[in-house]
Amino acid sequence: MDNYSQIFHGTAFTSGEEKEVIILKDHLFCVDEKGMIQNVVAPEDDLYDTIIQEQEGKERFHRLKKGQYILPGFVDLHIHAPQWAQSGTALDLPLNDWLHTYTFPLESRFSDINFAEEVYSDLVATLLANGTTTALYFATIHKEASFLLAEICAKKGQRGLVGKVVADDPEQNPAYYRDPDTKTALAETEEFIVAVKELAKATKQGVYPVVTPRFIPSCSDEALQGLGELAAKYDTHIQSHCSESDWEHSYVKERFHKNDAFALHGFGLLQEKSVMAHCNFLEDDDVDLFAKTGTAIGHCPLSNAYFANGVIPISRFSKNGVEIGLGTDISAGATPSLYDNAKQAVISSRMLEDGVDTTLPPDKRGVADSRLTMNEAFYYATAGGGESLSLPVGRLEKDYAWDVQIVDTKAKENKLPIFDANEDLYDIFQKIMYHVKPVNIAEVWVQGEKVVSR
Ligand code: GUN
Ligand code: FE
C-alpha cells in the first residue's frame, strides 16, 4: 500500500458504455508514482477501511470537500492553437473565405516566436483551467513555433499532441503562408517529429508529434504521400480535416473523384491513431472505412454550426462503430470549453432530429433517431477522446492515467443549483455538465501531478 503516491477519497463520475455514466460514490482512488490509477476501492471492499485508517492525515491522502466531485479530465480532440488569438471574432464568412481573410494572415504571424510564446502559454493555461488535460493541436507551418507549443505543454503539465501543419500547394495557399516546397515541408515535419519524441523522454505526462496535413485542398499529392510514409516510419498520430463543408467536400470529389476518406486512405493517412476533424459529409462506405481502419472523428459541434453547412449524424456514425471524441476547433468554435461543446453536441443533435424548417410538416422536418444524450457527449469528451488517441486516458479505472478535474459545486462565484442535501447523484452529474465554469474547477491533475489549483 505504501507504493501509492496519492490517494483520493470522493465521489466520481466516469463513463461505462457510451450511454452510461458510472457513479462511484465515496470511492478511494490510489495512484502510483507514475501517475497511473493502480486501484479503485469501493466502500464495501475489504481494503477500504484499512487504507483510510493507514493513510488519513498523511500529505498524500486527499479527502474531497462536501460539494466536490471528480470527473476525468477532458480530451480536446481538435484545436488550432494559433487561432486562440482571434477566438470570438471572424465568424461571418464561409470556410474558404474565412481561411484567406482571417486565418491564414493570423497564422502567418507565428513566424514570430515571441508572439507564439504569448498566445500558446495563455492558451495552454486556459485549457487546463477549463478541465482539458489532453489536447490534439494544430499549430502552424512554422517548425520552431510548433515545437515551442510542445515545450509549453511539457512545462505546464498538459498532455499535448502537436502537429506542425503542412500546406504546400501554391494554388491553394497564399505566398505569405505556405511551406516553401514539398521537400522542405516533409523534411521539417521529420525534424519536428524527432525533436518532439526527444522532448517526450523528459516529460512525465507525455507529448506527442502528430503528422498534420491541414486538409486535402492545402496539400500536393506528393506531400500527402510523404506524410503517410512519415507517420508509418515513426508510428505517429495523424490529424487532418475531412469532408467538412459543401465546398471542401466537393473540391476533393472533383480532384480525386472520390470522397476525402478514400483519398486520405490512399495516402496511408487513415489508421488506428488517426483523428479526422468534422467528417460531416461521410457516406456509408466512408463510415465503414473509418470503422475498419480505427480512424476517429473529432466532432466539433460549435464550429459545425458556423462552417459545416449541416448537422453531422453522430448517433448513426457511432452506431456504425466509428470512434468519436469532442473538439473545440478554436477558433471556428469560439470557446476553450468542452463543457460548452458537450452542450452544443446535445443541442445540435436535437435540432437534427426535430428538423429546423417550420414550413415543413413534423414528419418531414428532421432525421429520426439522431439525438445524443448528455451521457454520450460526456463520453465523447472523456473516454471517447482517449480511445480515439489510443491512450489510457478519459476513464477513472485501474491502469488509466490520473487525469482529473475536481469540480466544486459550491464555489461562491458560481454555486450550482443544488438545494437538497441528498440530491440524486445523477442529477448532480447533469447539473455539473450544464453549469460548471472554470471558477468551479478547483483542481486539475495530469498523470498524478497537480497542474491547476484555485
Ligand atoms: N479546414 C482547413 N483549415 C481549417 C481550420 O483552420 N478550421 C476549420 N474549421 N476547418 C479548416
Ligand atoms: Fe479545424
Confidence of residue 3 (pLDDT cuts 50, 70, 90): confident
* pLDDT 10s digits, 254-298: 999 999 999 999 999 999 999 999 999 999 999 999 999 999 999
Closest approach atom of ligand 1 to CA 83: 6
Residue 2 above 70 pLDDT?
no
Residue 190 above 90 pLDDT?
yes
Q: Is the CB of 241 under 6 A from ligand 1?
A: yes
Q: Is the CB of 104 under 6 A from ligand 1?
A: no
Average pLDDT, the chain: 98
Q: Is the CB of 107 under 6 A from ligand 1?
A: no
Angle at 307 between CA 336 and CA 224, to 5 degrees: 90
Instruction: Check residue 155 and give left, alpha or beta (phi > 0: left; psi -120 to 50: alpha).
Output: alpha
Instruction: Please tell me the distance between residue 254's alpha carbon and the centre of ligand 1 in angstroms.
Output: 19
Q: Domains (ranges, CATH) in the chain? A: 4-72+396-453 (2.30.40.10), 74-388 (3.20.20.140)
Q: What is the mean pLDDT of residues 149-159?
A: 98
Q: Is the CB of 102 under 6 A from ligand 1?
A: no
Angle at 226 between CA 385 and CA 222, to 5 degrees: 120
**What is the DSSP code (8-state) at residue 292?**
H
* pLDDT 10s digits, 85-133: 999 999 999 999 999 999 999 999 999 999 999 999 999 999 999 999 9
Ligand number nearest CA of 242 is 1
CA-proximal residue: ligand 1, atom 7 (nearest): 332
Q: Is the CB of 307 under 6 A from ligand 1?
A: yes
Q: Is the CB of 103 under 6 A from ligand 1?
A: yes
In the beta sheet, which residues pair with residue 159?
A: 134
Cell 453536441: give the residue.
Answer: 345
* pLDDT 10s digits, 405-441: 999 999 999 999 999 999 999 999 999 999 999 999 9
Of 200, 96, 213, nearest to 154 by C-alpha is 200
Mutate to test the pocket of ligand 1, among 98, 244, 246, 303 (most ligand atoms within 8 A of CB): 244
Instruction: Give this prediction's pTM.
Output: 0.98
The answer to whether 142 and 122 are in contact (CB under 8 A) is: no
* pLDDT 10s digits, 230-255: 999 999 999 999 999 999 999 999 99
* Alpha carbon distance 80, 429 (integer Å): 29
Confidence of residue 181 (pLDDT cuts 50, 70, 90): very high
What separation in angstroms does the CA of 9 have from each of 16, 45, 87, 170, 287? 20, 14, 38, 57, 42
φ, ψ of residue 444 to 5 degrees: the values are -130, 135
Report which secondary-structure segment, H or E, holds 234: helix 221-234
Q: Please name the amino acid found at residue 78.
A: H
* pLDDT 10s digits, 314-367: 999 999 999 999 999 999 999 999 999 999 999 999 999 999 999 999 999 999
Cell 485542398: give the residue.
Answer: 217
Report which secondary-structure segment, H or E, holds 340: helix 338-354
* Alpha carbon distance 158, 92 (integer Å): 32
Q: Is the CB of 245 under 6 A from ligand 1?
A: no
φ, ψ of residue 144 to 5 degrees: the values are -65, -50
Q: Is the CB of 9 under 6 A from ligand 1?
A: no
Residue 1 above 60 pLDDT?
no
Q: What is the mean pLDDT of residues 182-206?
A: 98
Of 409, 406, 431, nearest to 70 by C-alpha is 406
Q: Is the CB of 260 under 6 A from ligand 1?
A: no
Q: Please name the amino acid found at residue 381.
A: A
CA-proximal residue: ligand 1, atom 3 (nearest): 214
**Which pLDDT value is given to residue 350?**
98
Instruction: Please tell me the distance between residue 241's alpha carbon and the centre of ligand 1 in angstroms.
Output: 7
